[in-house]
Structure 1
Amino acid sequence: MAVSFHVRSNSFPSRPHPQAAHVVEQLARLRSSEEASSSSICQRLDNLQELHESLDKLILLPVTQQALTQEQNKKAVEQLLDESLRILDLCNVSKDALSQMKEGLMEIQSILRRKRGDLSGEVKKYLSSRKSFKKSFQKVQKSLKVSQEGESLAVFGKAEAVTIALFDSLFSYMSGSKTCGKWSLVSKIMNKRKVSCQEESNEFTRIDSEFQSEETLKMEDVQILESCIQDFEDGLESLSKSLIKYRVSILNTLGH
């Protein structure tokens, strides 16, 4: 879906509002951050939270509220609400998977520390859940699409695109699959830019590999992955709160 403050419309001024210009700058910064690493993804989660806080402020502007309530934008606004709900669902899917993985890792760490317990059983349980999560992630990724309908709400559509792209990267990172997904779509929407595909080797895949042969298992690597998961969880929780506030602001505008 595609408020653009550059679109020729009676609804908007010819010059962008400073808040709209700030949102455009944030979008450009997010688009330029395509590196696949845990720190990069965490930073993008933080940036997305800030972006949606800025969008929330943008919604409160009279010119935006006027646009959101115009009859010709009704379909676009409905789609905007649907997409915000879908993104919240993606947050929940991600948080649930991360929570279950962390729970398994904590149990494994406990067995390693005490040097007693069914380590093999817990490792098999973890790897089985990882296999299930990978299938779920792949299924969700196939459903990730960004609508490009309409021009009256373009800046919100671009925000949706970079948010969907982040989740595509996050799911790829957690499953260790090749990353060549929605950033290419973002590039298409926000000026063309080449995006490379690369096989992931990260905290998740390293532990997967070590769990295949328990002799190579390192407590330090398990702790690193658990810390990575915690960082992702914290970022997703903050993003969820900003998304909810953003969605409520849209609904409040429509209710006036």
Structure 2
Amino acid sequence: MAVSFHVRSNSFPSRSHPQAAHVSEQLARLRSSEEGETSTSSSSSICQRIDNIQELHESLDKLICLPVTQQALAQEQNKKTVEQLLDGSLRILDLCNISKDGLSEMKESLMEIQSILRRKRSELSGEVKKYLASRKAGKKTFQKVQKSLKVAHVEDKKEESLAVFGEAEAVTVALFDSFFRYISGSKTCGKWSVVSKLMNKKKVTCEAQANEFTMVESEFQSEKTLKMEDVQILESFIQDLDDRLESLSKA
């Protein structure tokens, strides 16, 4: 997601350029896969989408590094566009860090709960309350971030060839919107609806979601039904998500 600039020319690589065409194909696949999903996400689909977004950003880095792109970005008339690209890159990095911080806090609590389950269940109540309080605070943080998710309109940019950058930011922000909803167990949207919503194109219908997070949270409400295996599965899934987000933040 790093963006660097050193240059001299006046046009971005057209979509006929092999790298630009490759980015457009990746965006088309991301839109297609989103449209093919049901209204509820799964752990595997969330992980796959993170991986696909990482690959997209790696391709964008290659596109930005092309001499013709570097030359265009150095033009004074493209100064605002360069600032937008940098702002978008920093925004995505912030979203990665916010996500990782939330996951890290949950993982630490789950590890402590596993330790207690191996010793004395009588000590479990206090730690469960801490976890649930942490979950509640995390949900509020994620919901607050979701409300701030906005993407610059691609149609506002004069250069048609710049559309891929705006679209890439849109699909990335849409991923985090779904990611926060998944972790919170709140309502989730499918069929490319999140991007449409972010681009102010249409209203969307969302449905409630049940997953690893909500299942363990439900078990915590009645500690006698809490299973070590479910806690371990959730902790492992959180670690997997954390690793993938770390890779995305470095893409």
Task: Find the partner of 1:201 among 196, 210, 215.
Answer: 210
Unaligned runs of 5+ in 2: 1-9
Q: Which residue number corresponds to residue 41 of structure 1?
A: 46
* Match of residue 228 from structure 2: 219
- The aligned amino acid for 2:249 is S
1:157-172 equivalences under 5 Å are 157-172=166-181
Whole-angstrom distance in 2 between the partners of 1:77 and 1:39: 35
Q: Does the Cα contact within 8 Å between 2:13 and 2:69 map onto a contact in 1?
A: no
The equivalent of 2:30 in structure 1 is: 30
Percent of aligned pairs with the same amino acid = 80
Question: Quick one: structure 1 residues 91 and 196, their matched pair in 2 at CA, closer, same or farther if it must change by over 3 Å?
Answer: same
Q: Which residue of 2 aligns with 1:80?
A: 85
Q: Is the 8 A contact 2:194 2:204 kept in 1?
A: no
Q: Structure 1 residues 111, 189: CA separation in 2 closer, same or farther (over 3 Å shift)?
A: closer
Q: Which amino acid aligns with 2:17?
A: H
In 2: Cα distance, 1:105 partner to 1:170 partner = 20
| Equivalent residues, number | 232
RMSD: 2.3
Match of 2:60 among 55, 79, 102: 55
TM-score (norm 2): 0.86
Secondary structure of the structure 1 residue equivalent to 2:195: helix
Q: Within 5 Å, give how 1:141-180 maps onto structure 2.
A: 141-148=146-153, 149-152=156-159, 153-180=162-189
Separation in 1, partners of 2:220, 2:116: 14
Task: Output one character per residue of 1:109-141: Cα deviation in whole Å (capped at 9) or x when no partner.
Answer: 111112356200000000000000011111000
1:188 Cα shift? 7.0
Q: Is the 8 A contact 2:27 2:167 kept in 1?
A: yes
Unaligned runs of 5+ in 1: 1-9, 243-256
Letter of the 2:58 partner, please give it.
Answer: E
Cα 1:20–1:127 change in 2 (3 A) is: same
Contact 2:14–2:20 (CA<8 Å) still a contact in 1?
no
- What CA distance in whole angstroms lies between the structure 2 residues aligned with 1:181 and 1:74? 35
Q: 1:109 to 1:11 in 2, by over 3 A?
A: same
1:68 alignment partner in structure 2: 73
**TM-score, normalization: structure 1?**
0.84
Change (3 A) 1:241 1:31: same
The one of 119, 125, 130 aligned to 1:120:
125
SS of 2:49's equivalent in the other structure is helix
